[in-house]
Amino acid sequence: MIGAKLGSWILEKSLGSGGMGTVYLARSSSANAPGSSSAKRAAIKVMAPELAVDSGFLARFQREIDILGQLDHPNIVRFHESGQQNGRPYFVMEYVPGPSYESLLIERGRLPWPEVLELAWQIAPALKHAHDRGVIHRDLKPSNLLRGEREDPGGDPTPTRLVKLTDFGIASLFASPHLTVTGGIVGTAEYLSPEQAAGKPVTRRSDLYSLGVVLYTLAAGRTPFEGEPLDLLHKHRFAQFDRPIRLLPDMPHELDEIICDLMEKDPSKRPADAAVLFRRLDRLKHKLAYQATQAGGVGAGNTSAPSAAASATRSPLNAEGPATLMSRLMRQELERERSGGPVRRFLHRPSVLVVLLGLTLGLLAWSFWPLSAETMYQRGAALMQSDNPDDWETAWDKYLTPLLDKAPETAHRAEIERWREKYEEARAARQSVRAARAAGPMSEAQWFYQEGLRLRQQGDERGAKRVWKALILAFQEVPSESAWARLAEQELDKETPKRQWSPVRRAMRRASELRQQGKEKEASEIVEALKELYRDDKEAKAMIVKE
């Protein structure tokens, strides 16, 4: 289509292609008119012809137009106009000549943390602008962040880079109906939030998680999690990552904390919204700018931490040497001591400091002094009497397990073993509830894979293998389902696992206890329920009758 005319625009070259179409660099045809000083340029997204006949894709393309039309922010690519030519919809948006951050990452390996901080500081207000208008981006990643430049009014030879957020192709409107398949996962696996990975609804905080992954990736030079798409979905939901500061020791602790807070698994533990995030980033920038002015003699009017640090680096002749800087800092500290109040002057006396140091060391030694076996038992026992299962977990992990390691022949062994059963049952129940809540709608291949697991659990090994073999033949070449075909192949290679009958035995033991208490009706109900659950399982039915 190079050279073609769309409305008042002439296409000059292709800038890239995506799932919905191609983006072209275009110039305004009015630029050729007499008296025109320069060509006005723009980026034009043209829908792929094979998708333009599909009503679903047309609706999605129109939704991107509607979303961009609502947004007007310096850090979001601006929308100009839209139209249709020869049955192909298109829309015109601001052209950003700078590279994407994905290109910068490939070129440079990783970005210095001041640049990462600057990017976050600019994108947080852009997200707030979008979220305030009911728009969630849902696909934040380095390739959707473009770097441009803006003129610096002060004549700075290294002007601040203006970051632009683009590609709202899969963004969602809070009030709009979903145009994707129910339960489907939309986005890029490396940057998905845990709730997106679980197929749950997205929120503003989903974008904040993805932004945290972007910042981590740009600073560290790699994503926090790596693997196949299915593995990545699992890792975003359950795995832990190395803190950025472990990979980048020179990163400020505050920036490390911000990135880790953004990447909390629980959305409620992330910043409340993009405005809260921006305030934290802004405070950090001002703090770093102040430190730069104090250390490097930079003018106090500069409020940009990276710019201040860069200015100090560019002016080595004006910077203080290490000896001069240390001398000035020591004079300031002595002056603060002399000018402090009576309490502060008292606390600075050597004898007082020695006493305080001794008390501190004593408290530390006391806190780390090992507990006696009886103390561990008493504390664990008190927690096990609670009605809160969280207290049982604390009791077992903090006191009872160490007690059994320290004194395996303790006189309280029998009672501790009863508590172990109580704790493990509660933990199993909680895990079951979490798994049930996290489970979303299954794909076809996933359903048949789990059907094979159910047949194996019932002792029908032949039926399980029959289902898995059919699953492999049917879906191994379907990209969205091939992961389940691989899992089915792994199950076929496994030996038949032994059945775990302990829950059934516990239920039968409970029925026996009820009979001994004269509660025949309640006992019979448990036995009949087990028979109903295992009516097609000969091995289980035989065990229930035997019990």
Q: Domain coordinates of the chain in residue numbers?
A: 5-93, 101-289, 321-369, 373-438, 444-493, 502-546
Report the distance separating Cα 170 and Cα 60, nearest Å.
Answer: 8
Provide the pLDDT for residue 207.
Answer: 96
Provide the pLDDT for residue 179.
Answer: 35
β-strand pairing of 79-85 with 21-28: unpaired
Provide the pLDDT for residue 333.
Answer: 47
Q: Which of 157, 73, 163 is nearest to 117 (CA)?
A: 163
Of the listed 66, 72, 132, 139, which one is catalytic? Answer: 139
Q: Which amino acid is at 329?
A: L
Provide the pLDDT for residue 186.
Answer: 54
Q: Which of 335, 355, 357 is nearest to 345 (CA)?
A: 335
One of 1.10.357.10, 3.30.200.20, 3.40.50.620, 3.40.50.1370 is the CATH number of 5-93, namely 3.30.200.20
Q: Do 93 and 146 meet the contact criterion of CB atoms below 8 Å apart?
A: no
Taking CB atoms within 8 Å and a gap of at least 24, the contacts of 175-184 are: 175/134, 176/63, 179/56, 179/59, 179/60, 179/63, 182/441, 183/440, 183/441, 183/442
Instruction: Reduce the DSSP state of residue 15 to 3 states and report it.
Output: strand
Q: Is the pTM of this model over 0.85?
A: no
Q: Which of 75, 98, 96, 94 is nearest to 164 (CA)?
A: 75
Give domain 101-289's CATH architecture. Orthogonal Bundle (1.10)
Q: Split the chain (547 residues) into runs of 10 and give each run's mean pLDDT.
A: 89 84 88 50 90 83 88 94 90 92 94 96 96 92 87 50 85 40 58 91 94 97 92 92 94 96 96 95 93 65 43 37 45 51 62 75 64 84 84 84 82 84 75 53 80 80 88 82 84 71 82 88 87 77 68
Q: Tell me, yes or no, if 139 is annotated catalytic.
A: yes
Provide the pLDDT for residue 278.
Answer: 96
Provide the pLDDT for residue 80.
Answer: 92
Q: Which two tokens stand for residue 17?
A: 């292609």
